[in-house]
Structure 1
Amino acid sequence: MRTNFTLILFLFITFAGYAQKDQIKDAQSQFKNGNLKGALTILEKSEYLIVNAEYEDQSDFYDLKADVFRGLADKNIETAANLTAAVGAYKELIRAETLSGKLKYIVKARDGIKQIKDDFQTSASKDLKADKYADAARKMYSLYEVDKTDTINLYLSTSYFMTVKDYDSALKNYKELQSINYTGVGMEYYAVNKKSNVEEFFSSPIDRDTYVKAGSHEKPRNVRATSKKTEIYRNLAYIYSEKGNLNAAENLYKQMIVFNPKFIEPYLDLAYLNLDKKKELSDKMSVLGTSPSDMETYDKLKVQMDADVKEAISYLEKANAIEPKNEKVSDLLLKLYRSMDLIVEYNALKARI
């Protein structure tokens, strides 16, 4: 019985190997004839066979798959998605050849990955110069997907989405930045483009130095970047606030105070947040009638509204203690003191400024 099972398994593996080779040949034929979608369909249907194939067959399979994806991208068919998929195929090829020790396409694969990264970077730079921030944001995210060790590309993508107020895309990116605990601390690399005379950012010293050696860039410099954690939290809180999720925004502002208690902006943001709550309550109060039940509701809302104003005042007082000469804080604090008839506090602050 065991002998029969071994024979069956051997025959299955042998058949699968022949089937895999035939599928690759069929896909290659479709590719050479320009039928890229047909080639991709064959490859995707036969991919389950590749797991147990010999490394040499895996290498042929992923090389062809990368060529198909790049061919689709060259025809402007879902360019970013297909280039990203091509990089995925190249990485599988490199893995297979590294394990086998038979290096057939590995140089081509590494060059292909570098070329795709350069293409994304160049295209995004052109978009930025043309103020096409949304396009640049999508390309920087694709660049991040190609190489997730370059986390600054995810951060830049998020920043560009914020510029065009695409808060849904920015929110998705910010959550990813949080999940990888991105801080932005490290070194940033710059060089001046000789043609445009504009200083450009590079994600690595190798990329920057390559352009400098090629003669297209000059004046390379390195800048030690400070933490972007406060900026990330503040923008994320702003998005939540814009979407009406005030509780989520409030929690983020409070977290900012914990890791940077001397930064006054989250105190101001929390004050504004409580004033937004006050406005919502005020709007509800304005439509109430004079019935006993409405009057009771009015009184309850008034108590809550006053509590929101007092909480806003408490945050502004903390901000004022940090920066006593900040006019924005002082002016708003004076207005709220006056609205709550806090005469002693109003006069004391007025005397100090």
Structure 2
Amino acid sequence: MKKQIIIALAFSVCAFSFAQKKELRAVEKAIKGKNYAEAKAALKQAEALMSSMDDKLKAQYYYLNAEALYADGAGSMDDIDAALKSLENVKEGYATEVSELKQTMVNGILTKGNKSYEGKDYSIASKYFEKAYRLSTKDTLFLYYAAATAVNVQEYDRALDLYEELKQLGYTGIEKQYFATNVETGEEEIMDKNTRDLYVKAKSHKNPGERMTESKKPEIVKNVALIYVSKGEDEKALTAMKDARAESPDDVNLILSEANIHYKLGNTKEFKALLEKATQMDPNNPELQYNLGVIAAESGQPEEAKAYYEKAIALDPQYTNAYINLAALILSKEEAMIKEMNGLGSSKKDDLRYDELRAQRQDLYKNAAPYLTKALEIDSKNLGAAKTLMNIYSILDETAKQKEMKAKVDALEAEGVN
């Protein structure tokens, strides 16, 4: 009796094992025929038998499940995530197959990522690049591409997470490049070492060489700082900016970025000091001279401001705002004059002072007008300059010029110029 039971049980187990293998063979057949819907249906049936599968059959199930989900590249991002999780459960055997499937997935994902990038769909491209890295974590370059591409579409929170991950990994992006000059075109070409050596041997290329690429760490640290700036997290931005400047002490743009943060925080002294430092490093930059002029004007140093604006114009004769600010410097003296004129009485002495101030005020307008005229020559749609000139000509009783400028103002406003 006991022998019969044992035999019956053994027969039952064999039948159960046969059913498991049959279902998995059906999955394999469907996948080979690229019928992934049928494969998934067969996997559902096999899943019901999972509890009694041995480790080898479970490994086969999870591997086949990943293949079905990936569907030769047709699977969605969620399907790819599920496929990766399934491959994590392959504990026995299939090492070569798993490695090959992952490489196939990486190649397919990168192809889609590059296609999205070329189509300027940077958000999707970034996600594909990140997915490629998750599949092949030794290829940190993919993570760098994911972060840089996320910045293109201002997905700053995501980019920040990716950049921080790169920093924690100690990523530098430094690699050895192999190159040679194309004999026909005369242009240097970068390629892998074997290809380069083959081309040089075939004499289609000459002057072979190798070099190390520049580190991407300064760029990463800089972008982290700039992302904090864009998010309005100024204190974090300043901390990150110090790290960035430590990496790239000669980067003028980093100094300007830090200066702008200080300006935003009202730290005028620090802002000016950094601008002066940047000016020493880049003395022929008109924008730096202009910004120093703005700070000097706001600090009540009109003569210093005037010198900076004039230097900006000397470096760039087309710098419209410098002309406008020079006119504004001149006209800023008007307020004190008007206040004094309004406070005068009716005595002969007061009348003489009034006439004196009136003449000085008209001199201000005459001195400011050429700068505004030049600004309009450069930027014919500068409504602010046109309005100010119209008012100046009105006060100076230059009727013809006032009418001409009024017509220009009306035309610009009709165009919707602000």
1:244 maps to a residue whose letter is: G
Shift of 1:149: 0.7
2:92 aligns to what SS in structure 1?
Answer: helix
Q: Please name the residue that 2:298 is paired with.
A: 339
Match for 1:183: what amino acid?
Answer: T
Aligned to 2:241: 253
Residue 330 (structure 1) aligned with residue 289 (structure 2) = yes
CA distance in structure 1 between the partners assigned to 2:225 and 2:15 by the alignment: 55
Does the 8 A contact of 1:124 with 1:135 survive in 2? Answer: yes
Paired residue type of 2:92:
A
Kept in 2, the 8 Å contact 1:23–1:46? The answer is no
* Cα distance between partner residues in 2 of 1:22 and 1:222: 59
Give the aligned length: 278
Deviates more, 1:124-133 or 1:155-164: 124-133
Q: Which moved more, 1:337-346 or 1:237-246?
A: 337-346
SS where residue 96 of structure 1 aligns? coil
Per-residue displacement from partner, 1:93-124 (whole Å, max 9, x unpaired)? 4x633xxxxxxx44433332222222122222
For 1:168-210, what per-residue CA distance to the aligned partner results, in whole angstroms no more than 9, with x for missing partners? 321221121122122212236899xxxxxxx9999xx59x96x
Q: Which moved more, 1:19-28 or 1:222-231?
A: 19-28
Partner residue in 2 for 1:34:
38
Instruction: Quote the offset at 1:233 in angstroms.
Output: 1.8
- Do the aligned residues in 1 keep the contact of 2:69 with 2:75 (CA within 8 Å)? no
Query: 1:252, CA displacement in angstroms?
Result: 0.7
Give 1:128's aligned residue.
117
Distance 1:274 1:90, change over 3 A: same
CA contact (8 A) 2:113 2:128 kept: yes
Query: Structure 1 residues 25-34 or 263-272, which shifts more?
Result: 25-34
Shift of 1:166: 2.0
Task: Tell which has more relative contact order, 1 or 2 (C-alpha 8 A, sep 6+).
Answer: 1
SS in 1 for 2:212: strand
Whole-Å separation in 2 of the counterparts to 1:122 and 1:343? 59
Unaligned runs of at least 5 residues, structure 2:
1-12, 31-36, 181-187, 313-418
What residue number does 1:231 align with? 219
Q: Give the match for residue 232 of structure 2.
A: 244
Give 1:318 shift: 2.0
Distance in 1 (CA, whole Å) between partners of 2:22 and 2:157 is 42
**RMSD (Å), alpha carbons:** 4.3
Counterpart CA distance in 1 for 2:174 and 2:16 is 47
Q: By how many angstroms is 1:46 displaced?
A: 4.7
Deviation at 1:158, TM superposition (A): 1.3
The answer to whether residue 78 in structure 2 is matched with residue 86 in structure 1 is no
The 2-side partners of 1:45 and 1:318 are apart by 73
Q: Percent identity?
A: 22
Report the CA distance between 1:251 and its aligned residue: 0.9
Which ranges in structure 1 are unaligned for 5 or more consecutive residues?
Answer: 1-16, 98-104, 192-198, 278-304
Q: 1:225, CA displacement in angstroms?
A: 2.2
What is the aligned partner in structure 2 of residue 181 from structure 1? Answer: 170
Deviations 1:293-324 (A, max 9, x none): xxxxxxxxxxxx4xx12221121122223223
Q: Distance in 1 between matches of 2:136 and 2:262?
A: 42
Read off the aligned partner of 1:226 and give its amino acid letter: E
Map of 1:160 onto structure 2:
149
Distance 1:77 1:242, change over 3 A: same
Which residue number corresponds to residue 272 of structure 2? 313
- How do 1:1-353 residues align onto structure 2 when only pairs under 5 Å count? 25=21, 28=24, 31=27, 34=38, 36=40, 39=43, 43=47, 46=50, 53-54=54-55, 56-71=56-71, 76-78=74-76, 80-87=77-84, 89-90=86-87, 93=90, 96-97=92-93, 105-187=94-176, 205=192, 224-277=212-265, 305=266, 308-342=267-301
2:396 aligns to what?
none
Measured in 2, the distance between the counterparts of 1:234 and 1:44 equals 53
1:245-273 per-position Cα deviation (integer Å, ceiling 9, x unaligned): 11111111111122332222221011111
Contact 1:40–1:65 (CA under 8 A) maintained in structure 2: no
The answer (yes or no) to whether the contact 1:188–1:224 under 8 Å persists in 2 is yes
Shift of 1:45: 9.8
Equivalent residues of 2:245, 2:254 under 8 A apart: yes
CA distance in 2, matches of 1:185, 1:238: 23
Matched to 1:236, the amino acid is V
After superposition, what is the alpha-carbon deviation per residue over 1:14-43, rounded to whole angstroms, capped at 9, x for unaligned? xxx999968954863784581616736965
Residues 337 and 134 of structure 1: CA distance in aligned 2, closer, same or farther (over 3 Å): same
Whichever of the two has the greater Rg, that structure is 2
Match for residue 100 of structure 1? none
- Normalising by structure 2, report the TM-score: 0.54
